[in-house]
Structure 1
Amino acid sequence: MLSIGSQISQAIAVDKDDVSWYTAYTWVGGNFKVKSYANLDLRIGLGKVISAISSIPTSWSWTYTSASSDLVANISYDLWLSNNSNSTGASSSSTFEVMIWLSARGGTYPAGSQVGTASVNGATWKLFKGTVSTWTVFTFLAPNEITKFNSDLSEFLNFLTIKHNVPSSQFLVQAQAGTEVFIGNANLTTNSYSISVN
């Protein structure tokens, strides 16, 4: 079945390092295919190896102002690692993709299979591992939907270096936050969002 739909995304306000934005969409067909990943993409502070990152503080407050009963979507961070400091995510240079899912609606699950749990920043996450294209994907799935998230994302990377042999010499080359949509319609509003790499 062909995928049919439409989507619009727009910034609402920018206050120094804090951004508010929204995306509204309707998608049908191709139920198991991601239609879009509307996101904010960090452009500064990247190109550091994991061992040189002291913290990645982030804050994200979001809400579905409307969502259809058949909605299949996630709300997630997407961090990309590489051996090449000048590369970007989802490229031939990508080695690891690290996703942090704050929400999973409609029965959607991360790539691969669950390989255990992870206690990070005061929560116990389900940890999935899989392969997409040429890179390995690790996904931390929240135990419950988190609409107000304040955390240090470097703790997720450190967990993987200690427990799952991700080299601390890997470069962080991209850091995104947004929503992957499969099917359904929704209006997603980010009330405030900030992130930095220290």
Structure 2
Amino acid sequence: MKARIALAATAVAAAVVGGGIVLSGPASAVETTLCDQYASTKVQGGEYIVQNNVWGTSATQCIDVTDDGFTITQQDGVNSGGAPTAYPSLVWGCHYNNCTNDFSPILASSSEFDKIGSQASFTYNTGGVWNASYDIWFDPTARKDGQNTGAEIMIWANHAGGASPVGSKVGEVTTAGGTWDVWYGNSGWNVVSYVRTSAASSVDYKVTDFYDDAVDRGYAQDSWYLTSIQAGFEPWSGGKGLGIDDFAVTTDGSGGTTPDDSGTTEPTATTTATPVVTTTAPTTTDPGTGTGGETGDCAASYKVTQSWGSGFIGEVTVKNTGDSATQGWKVNWTWPSGQKLASMWNASNETSGSTVTASNVSYNGGVAKGDSTTFGMQVDGSSATPTLTCTAG
């Protein structure tokens, strides 16, 4: 367990080892405090981004940012299940077109990708419901903006209060100096989570340590692009005091030393918590389905795959009902009440008031006779079942 304590006017990092307190050097001075929902700032001359990233609650969260990382100083949101309240984190790469210096997505089959690694040190508290995790994003295209649709690789160094990954456990792997439970689920993209079986206060690895395993299991592809490496926390409650420092991404093949788990124990929540499911997109299943429509050799069907208090995930299946392959397609609908599109993947969209038109993107416009393709969306507001109209060219 790690904690930050104050001695006179100097803040120092402390680690509890065998009941004693071991002091390290002075902590970095606070450079800025972020409290706005999606506030972010660049550190180390733009090499990295620190983001508050509050997306699962309207309650206040604040983080103190230094040049080395951040600490959560206020976290008022409480989610008892489903999605976490936020993912305050450090970023290398691009997050919704907010990019670090000169970054371009990196093809997973390239020699450059083979050399990429990362390391971070975490500070934990002794209560609440949360995980300490990396979030590594991949997309079929060299995407810099919007929601990635390939794979989300999560690396859990620690967790507390009953937090568990999206999906279910599918295996176990020994890599990057530890043993990890492997979980798989899908949130419109593949979510592959590696949960360390013994908590670690730091992580040092090469991205291929985990990505190669995901490819071998059929959850990722070498033709996809790495778009960002992020490290932070997903709190459901009690996140105050969680922090991260010494974050770095290496590009010279030097990553992959054994994580430091000396003196680190699994924090115990101060209250009994119901196990929850996590990912950076909400994960509570809603079996609702919507009505579909067919015109112009095209049929569309709709279902809500996940929902939570303030939003939901919807999935649309577009089927070619004609006699030849489509050259493109569009799906139109009008939300029944108060919904607002937050993001969409595997389709582009135009929105006018409550009316949405989703169109194919470059790689899924051609659908063979009798075949289908799908696209997904994250929506703010209560779950809804719109009536769809599909047209194909």
| TM-score grouping bracket, smaller chain normalisation | 0.7 to 0.9
- Kindly indicate whether residue 156 of structure 2 is the aligned counterpart of residue 107 of structure 1: no
Counterparts in 2 of 1:87 and 1:164: CA distance versus 1, 3 Å: same
CA distance in structure 2 between the partners assigned to 1:157 and 1:114 by the alignment: 17
AA at the equivalent of 1:22: T
Partner residue, 2:202:
148
Per the alignment, in what secondary structure is the counterpart of residue 166 of structure 1? coil
CA contact (8 A) 1:5 1:25 kept: no
Partner residue, 1:26:
75
CA distance in structure 2 between the partners assigned to 1:165 and 1:185 by the alignment: 31
- Kindly indicate whether residue 87 of structure 2 is the aligned counterpart of residue 37 of structure 1: yes
CA distance in structure 2 between the partners assigned to 1:106 and 1:76 by the alignment: 15
CA distance in structure 2 between the partners assigned to 1:81 and 1:178 by the alignment: 18
Larger radius of gyration: 2
CA contact (8 A) 1:126 1:142 kept: yes
CA contact (8 A) 1:63 1:188 kept: yes
Return the offset for 1:6: 2.5
CA distance in structure 2 between the partners assigned to 1:8 and 1:21 by the alignment: 10
Per the alignment, in what secondary structure is the counterpart of residue 190 of structure 1? strand
**Which stretches of structure 1, 4 residues or more, deviate above 3 A after TM superposition?**
none
Partner residue, 2:65:
11
Counterparts in 2 of 1:165 and 1:61: CA distance versus 1, 3 Å: closer
Match of 2:106 among 41, 44, 48: 48
CA distance in structure 1 between the partners assigned to 2:87 and 2:138 by the alignment: 18
Partner residue, 1:16:
none
CA contact (8 A) 1:46 1:197 kept: no
Counterparts in 2 of 1:189 and 1:55: CA distance versus 1, 3 Å: same
Return the offset for 1:85: 0.5
Match of 2:212 among 155, 158, 182: 158
Structure 1: which 5+ residue stretches go unaligned? 14-18
Greater relative contact order (Cα < 8 A, sep 6+):
1
Aligned ranges for residues 161-176 of structure 1 at < 5 Å? 161-164=215-218, 166-176=220-230
AA at the equivalent of 1:166: A
- Kindly indicate whether residue 247 of structure 2 is the aligned counterpart of residue 193 of structure 1: yes
Q: What are the superposed Cα offsets for residues 26-81 of structure 1, whole Å, 9 maximum, x if unpaired?
A: 335431131010001113554111111122222211212x44x3x00001100111
Partner residue, 2:130:
73
Partner residue, 2:192:
138
Task: Kindly indicate which of the two structures has a greater share of residues assigned to strand.
Answer: 1
AA at the equivalent of 1:135: W
CA contact (8 A) 1:88 1:173 kept: no
CA contact (8 A) 1:58 1:153 kept: yes
Q: How many residues align?
A: 186
Return the offset for 1:142: 0.6
CA distance in structure 2 between the partners assigned to 1:188 and 1:30 by the alignment: 17
Return the offset for 1:20: 2.9
Counterparts in 2 of 1:150 and 1:185: CA distance versus 1, 3 Å: closer
Partner residue, 1:125:
180
Match of 1:183 among 237, 252, 255: 237
Structure 2: which 5+ residue stretches go unaligned? 1-56, 94-99, 253-393
Bigger drift between 54-63 and 137-146 goes to: 54-63
Per the alignment, in what secondary structure is the counterpart of residue 211 of structure 2? helix
Return the offset for 1:88: 4.2
AA at the equivalent of 1:97: E
Per the alignment, in what secondary structure is the counterpart of residue 157 of structure 1? helix
CA distance in structure 2 between the partners assigned to 1:29 and 1:151 by the alignment: 32
Return the offset for 1:152: 1.5
CA distance in structure 2 between the partners assigned to 1:162 and 1:185 by the alignment: 35
Return the offset for 1:186: 2.2
CA distance in structure 2 between the partners assigned to 1:137 and 1:146 by the alignment: 22
